[in-house]
Amino acid sequence: MYNIGLFVACLNGNRFVTASSDLIRAKLPTRYGEFFISVRADAPSERAHVALSMGDLSQGSAPLVRLHSECLTGDALHSLRCDCGFQLEAALSMIAGEQRGVLLYLRQEGRGIGLANKLRAYALQDQGLDTVEANEQLGFGADLREYHEAVTLLKQLGVSEVRLMTNNPRKVQALNDAGIKVVERVPMRFGANPHNERYLAVKTNKLGHLL
Ligand SMILES: Nc1nc2c(ncn2[C@@H]2O[C@H](COP(=O)(O)OP(=O)(O)OP(=O)(O)O)[C@@H](O)[C@H]2O)c(=O)[nH]1
Ligand SMILES: [Zn+2]
């Protein structure tokens, strides 16, 4: 018998994504506890969005959820230029504290402009531009991220209501608009230091973050 879902496809960026794609799922023990790690079976091998989940998500109260945008420098290389690495660790620890929740690791490096362009932007910031001005000088908008695939992944994990861990009102709006109800916004203020002082100020003053 044909799976009708396989024929329900939508254009997402320049890739077709089927509505019925399965998730590949495996255990992932971490320093914070044991998560499950999942990717869509039809995701590209490189740069697939990743879900780290814990506990029963499809029943009970709204779980903690973090939409974490990839930041190689902050998440893996311990950079102090941003707050990403601190937020990543805090989010995993908070989810583990409740033994329930999801962190989506979204492959949207540099707010969607990619690593090389983010480093170009860093070089311009070293000359005095702020994060938004640097993006504009490179010909990009301030923030190119979109959250359709994140919404699809959350729905596949059985999540329909969330306590969203973010300071970014655009993420709250994106989920509410897509039918995933944000019942609470959980602030994520971690890792402020002299190297990211201006970066955090620009997020508040130019990007509307609630810091
Ligand atoms: N283009 C650009 N991207 C940056 C810069 N610094 C960090 N990023 C990227 O910004 C993304 C994180 O976005 P943020 O604006 O810090 O925070 P957010 O995800 O919108 O909001 P929170 O949920 O509150 O963390 C990651 O993909 C980083 O790689 C920068 O100077 N320029
Ligand atoms: Zn970062």
Regarding beta strands 15-18 and 161-165, do their DSSP bridges make them parallel or antiparallel, or are they unpaired?
unpaired
Q: What percentage of residues in the chain have a pLDDT greater than 70?
A: 90
User: Measured from the CB, is residue 109 less than 6 Å from ligand 1?
Assistant: yes
pLDDT digits (tens, 9 = 90+) for 145-184: 999 999 999 999 999 999 999 999 999 999 999 999 999 9
For residues 15 and 149, give the distance between their C-alpha atoms in angstroms, rounded to a whole number: 11
Q: What's the predicted TM-score (pTM) here?
A: 0.90
Is 81 in the active site?
no
Task: Report pLDDT for 133.
Answer: 95
The answer to whether residue 9 scores a pLDDT higher than 70 is no
For residues 203 and 6, give the distance between their C-alpha atoms in angstroms, rounded to a whole number: 41
171 is in an annotated binding site: yes
User: Measured from the CB, is residue 38 less than 6 Å from ligand 1?
Assistant: no
**What structural domains and CATH numbers belong to the chain?**
23-108+145-205 (3.40.50.10990)
Taking residues 31-53, what's their average pLDDT? 94
For residues 156 and 160, give the distance between their C-alpha atoms in angstroms, rounded to a whole number: 10
Regarding beta strands 161-165 and 181-186, do their DSSP bridges make them parallel or antiparallel, or are they unpaired?
parallel
User: Measured from the CB, is residue 118 less than 6 Å from ligand 1?
Assistant: yes
Taking residues 179-192, what's their average pLDDT? 96
pLDDT digits (tens, 9 = 90+) for 103-138: 999 999 999 999 999 999 999 999 999 999 999 999
More confident residue, 9 or 136: 136
Taking residues 35-61, what's their average pLDDT? 94
Residue that is written with structure tokens 């399965």 in the block: 22
Residues with Cβ within 8 Å of residue 152, at least 6 apart in sequence: 17, 40
For ligand 2, the distance from its centroid to the CA atom of residue 71, given in whole angstroms, is 5
For residues 158 and 102, give the distance between their C-alpha atoms in angstroms, rounded to a whole number: 11
110 is in an annotated binding site: yes
Task: Report pLDDT for 211.
Answer: 83
Q: Which of 145, 170, 185, 189 is catalytic?
A: 145
Q: Looking at this predicted complex, what is its ipTM?
A: 0.98
* Ordered alpha helix ranges (H), the chain: 84-98, 115-126, 131-137, 148-156, 169-177, 197-205
Edge-to-edge strands of the sheet including 33-40? 23-30, 33-40, 50-54, 101-106, 64-69, 161-165, 181-186
CA atoms within 13 A on the CB side of 112: 11
Residues with Cβ within 8 Å of residue 70, at least 6 apart in sequence: 105, 106, 107, 108, 109
For ligand 2, the distance from its centroid to the CA atom of residue 121, given in whole angstroms, is 13
Is 145 in the active site?
yes
69 is in an annotated binding site: yes
Q: Which of 75, 82, 173 to mutate to test the pocket of ligand 1 (most atoms within 8 A of CB)?
A: 82
User: Measured from the CB, is residue 159 less than 6 Å from ligand 1?
Assistant: no
Q: Which residue has the CA at smallest separation from atom 3 of ligand 1?
A: 110
